[in-house]
A and B are shown apart, each in its own frame.
Chain A
Amino acid sequence: MSASSMPASSPLGAPTLPVVTHAPGALEQQEQRRKSRKSWLLLLPALLVVVIAAIAPLLTILWVSFWRTDGLTLQRTIDFTAWRTVLSDPTFYRLAWSSVQTVIIVLALVGVLGLAAGYWLARFVTNRKLQALLLLLAILPFWTSYLIRIITWQPLFGNSGVINFLLTQLGLPPMELFLYNQRAMIFAMTSLYVVFVIGPVFWALSRIDPEVIAASRTLGASAWTSFRTVELPLARGGLVVGLFFASIFLFGDYATGRLIGGGTNPLLSDAISQYAGSGQWPIAAALAVVLFLLAIICLTIFMRVYDLRNEL
């Protein structure tokens, strides 16, 4: 957080001279209050947006999850129908589990691949210009539309798509691995979100003074030991930053699952959008509460592993 050092508000051991008219630190306290008020005024517009577009919606969801629908109209009563449905039907448990599973697998893949790629770029590419170019190439796709990237999946991996065309040209049997199943979805998500990890890992590693590693090697550490004990802990910050942002996008991503997963293994996010689409608001709301809790648990774990505020 901000390193700007404010003067301590009240000095210890105030002098006991008899002519003191103000209580010690009173002026500073007043100044402190003035600054506090100014800070809140500056924050006001941003917080207003957060209240209207985030806090109120979240509370509304919690509220609506206790309503019920009669036909297509919402009944504002306290009713546990939606929750009873969600909690008693094994389908929803499977849904939640497959969401959690997908997130874990994708984050693991993205983490390992991103760490390897970022580490390689930081340590083994010594030409500065080439390094900068490769880094640019690796993060550039983040700035283009992700929808544009996934709509090419079908012509790329479809039964008569590019991959199978190339395979048959090489005299190999065609495959049906990468469209409309969970594997395809996980592969697509990995390719979408690996971008988040490479950059931060690279920056975290290039902040390490090469002398530190050299020193650990001189002191007799093997390459593996110095990687494990020196570089990995330092890369951790970048890795967690990347995974944090990847999971922010991942939890709410229903389009990838629908377009590439083909709805065969729906995620919670997709189920929410489908229930909302068919006017079953209370069930959508109840599932949203579950998804929100899952996301918060995941992000809290990341903050425990590494306090992201250190990176600010």
Chain B
Amino acid sequence: MQLSQGQKAFRVAGGIIFILILIILYAPFFIMGLLSFAERTTAVFPPADFSFISYQKLFNPTNFDLYRIPGEPLVNYLRPIGLSVTLALLTSIIATVLALMAALAFRERFRGRGIAFYLLLLGMVTPGIILGLGFRLFADQIGLPTGWKTTGLLTHIAWTMPFGFIVFLVFLNRFDRTIEEAASVLGADSWTVFRTVTLPVLAPGVLASLLFGFTLSFDEIQRSALVLGRDQTLPIAIIGATTVRITPVLYALGSLIALVSFAFVAFYLLFFERERRRFYGGTVAEDDEEEAESTEGAVAA
């Protein structure tokens, strides 16, 4: 295609914008990796001395011999990490089950469908701080003790479920229901149809929903700050640490989390793509591509 002058200019400008965005997105990770090896302070760049001591402190938070800087705050991230992983796993599983059930309900027309749709999205569209504040006040009024098992878990489910719900709607709207009918004509009862036909075809959607649930819950701070009671998730611990004093231990933690999540997500996306191709993609290039792109679009959103 022949490009006009304007298009050529835009190609250059767009490319520069894209590269600048990538730099701004990734520079923090590189800096963080570098600073995690700083021994004393990270406020002055470049750091004066390098060592692995921050990683040692991260994994042995109670080994007092490691703390040699005067006035250095002692932070134990191991417990918050454990709690965040537990909470994120529970949240993603429960939210995915609820979202799948809700999305299946939406395959039929029923009275109140429109209002139910908006209600289901309420936990997602309401600004997080409001839900945290509201649930805290509500729990106080009905005498429900705040903590991760009660208000925390419910808040995280209400937050992540709508994402799974949207993912499943996208998949179900591209779902060929004749294969279910074929199975039931061949004598399968409705549970067998769901287990052996519907669920396997929806597998990529389940994967996407689980990933949304885990990531959003693991990183959640807006809603959690007021509803966790005495329990400390990782984001709460990090915010707490920043208000005292940022030490290189925080960057060691950040570097490890970034590495693990990049590896995990890259692996997950490859797996997701393979599962999706199994049921939704393959040979008929044109149609297929369109479908793939629209579903992925919703996933990334």
Please give the residue numbers on chain A whose beta carbons come within 8 Å of chain B beta carbons, in ascending order.
1-4, 6, 32, 35-36, 38-43, 45-47, 49-50, 52-58, 60-61, 64, 113, 116-117, 119-121, 124, 134, 136-156, 158, 160-162, 164-165, 191, 194-196, 198-200, 203-204, 206-207, 214, 222-224, 238, 241-242, 245, 248-249, 251-255, 259, 269, 272-273, 276, 281, 284-285, 288, 291-292, 295-296, 299, 311-312
Contact = CB atoms under 8 A, between A and B. Distances in A.
Contacts of A198: 21
A144 B26 CA distance: 11
A39 to B, nearest CB: 4
A144 B258 contact: yes
Contact of A50 (B25, B44, B158, B235): B158
B129 A238 contact: no
Interface string B21-47: 110111111011001000000111110
A124 B298 contact: no
A55 B261 CA distance: 33
Most buried by A among B25, B102, B129, B173: B129
A203 B28 CA distance: 27
Contacts of A203: 293-294, 296-297, 300
Contact of A47 (B104, B120, B128): B120
Interface residues of B, number: 109
A272 B130 CA distance: 8
Contact of A137 (B22, B128, B177): B22
B45 A160 contact: yes
B279 interface: no
A147 B219 contact: yes
Interface in B184-226: 211, 215, 218-219, 221-223, 225-226
B102 to A, nearest CB: 4
Given A57-B131, A60-B138, A116-B17, A39 B43 contact: no
B121 to A, nearest CB: 9
Interface stretch (B50-58, B65-73, B164-172): B164-172
Nearest to A117: B18
A49 B131 CA distance: 13
Nearest to A56: B138
Interface in B227-260: 234-235, 238-239, 242, 246, 250-251, 254, 257-258
B258 A148 contact: yes
Given A53-B158, A162-B45, A38 B108 contact: yes
A154 to B, nearest CB: 7
B12 to A, nearest CB: 9
Nearest to B166: A312
A145 B257 contact: yes
B22 A113 contact: no
Contact of B134 (A1, A58, A251): A58
B126 interface: yes
B133 A45 contact: no
A142 B262 contact: no
A31 to B, nearest CB: 10
B164 to A, nearest CB: 10
Given A1-B106, A2-B172, 16 more contacts: A35-B108, A42-B105, A43-B120, A46-B101, A50-B158, A55-B122, A58-B126, A60-B141, A64-B137, A151-B251, A151-B254, A198-B21, A203-B300, A224-B6, A238-B297, A276-B136
B125 A248 contact: yes
Interface string B3-29: 110110011011101100110111111
B257 A148 contact: yes
A56 B173 CA distance: 31
Contact of B265 (A41, A140, A245): A140
A144 B254 CA distance: 10
9 contacts: A46-B165, A58-B134, A60-B137, A139-B300, A143-B265, A147-B235, A194-B21, A203-B293, A253-B222
B173 A2 contact: yes
A284 B246 CA distance: 29
B134 A39 contact: no
A273 B18 CA distance: 35
B254 A42 contact: no
B205 to A, nearest CB: 13
